[in-house]
Amino acid sequence: MSDFTAEERERQEIAFWSESEEERPGTFSVDLLTHKMSEGRIFLEKLIQFSDSFNNASTIIELGGGQCWASCMVKAQVGERATVIGTDIAPDAIASVTQWERVFDTKLDRTEACRSYTTPFDDDSVDLVFTFAAAHHFGAHRRTLEEIARILRPGGRALYLHEPGCRDWIYRAALRRVMAKRPVVPEDVLRYRHLMELGQEAGLIPELHYAPTTTYRGGVETVYYLGLQRLPPLQRLLPCTFDMVFNKP
């Protein structure tokens, strides 16, 4: 695991949303909109890929949503068919959700500032939980998956979408690269086997899907992920973005 303790990760995450020149409350720029909606192209791919999960759920919760623009995209798609709730650990992240509601001409049913492992939702009350490029910021994976298992209804599922992942043997090298790329907040690389084991221990059934998209990549990354696309065995060997589905029996 990374060298940050869970408490240190949380403090830095909360501070980021209060202090960031680009993303603290009250700031909204063309650069921010362009960056988030470039990521939105990837999230749109996920909405299409997992359309059955999103369209058939009556209650949807995002964990670690930051400003919750992804939740707003979901709400714009499902409309009144589902209750959509955005959450993040940082109140100052949640405070900016109204600007994304205006962008997507929608309104979330509810927002909550809470940790991924201590949510205010009832047992067996949620059909779908999702994260988008956020679970690798969580420090308490075991507790988070236990919390997800608690709030999901039987037959519900959780989606960890567009996460950086790797095998155990290359973890340290992969982590150094990720931390160097974005040192502002604690980052991690999720180890497939470890995450699946934690899901199983929480009573969930995990499914791993390698997802080497080239959408919104830099030049070198595009070449790398094109190689992973064309040589699928490399996806199982080298670091690769992935989606993981956790089903609750």
Domain layout of the chain by residue ranges: 6-247
CATH code of the domain made up of 6-247:
3.40.50.150
| pTM score of the predicted model | 0.95
Q: What is the pLDDT of residues 21-66, one digit of tens each?
A: 999 999 999 999 999 999 999 999 999 999 999 999 999 999 999 9
Mean pLDDT of 63-75: 98
Band (pLDDT 50/70/90 cuts) for residue 8 is confident
Q: What pLDDT does residue 67 have?
A: 97
Residue 1 reports pLDDT greater than 60 = no
Band (pLDDT 50/70/90 cuts) for residue 207 is very high
Range scoring the smallest mean pLDDT among 46-55, 66-75, 180-189: 180-189
Cα–chain center distance at 229: 22
Find the helix or strand (DSSP H, E) in which 102 lies. helix 97-104
Q: What pLDDT does residue 90 have?
A: 97
Mean pLDDT of 71-97: 97
Q: What pLDDT does residue 7 have?
A: 81
Mean pLDDT of 243-249: 98
Band (pLDDT 50/70/90 cuts) for residue 182 is low
Q: What pLDDT does residue 245 have?
A: 98
Residue 223: both structure tokens together: 């070449």
CB 171 within 8 A of CB 195: no
Q: What is the pLDDT of residues 89-111, one digit of tens each?
A: 999 999 999 999 999 999 999 99
What is the Cα–Cα distance from 129 to 147, expressed in whole angstroms?
A: 11
CB 67 within 8 A of CB 93: yes
Mean pLDDT of 236-248: 98
Residue 192 reports pLDDT greater than 70 = yes
Band (pLDDT 50/70/90 cuts) for residue 185 is confident
Average pLDDT, the chain: 94
Q: What pLDDT does residue 4 have?
A: 64
Higher pLDDT, 246 or 139: 246
Q: What pLDDT does residue 82 have?
A: 98
Per DSSP (E only), the strands in the chain are 59-62, 83-88, 110-113, 126-132, 152-166, 190-191, 205-210, 240-247
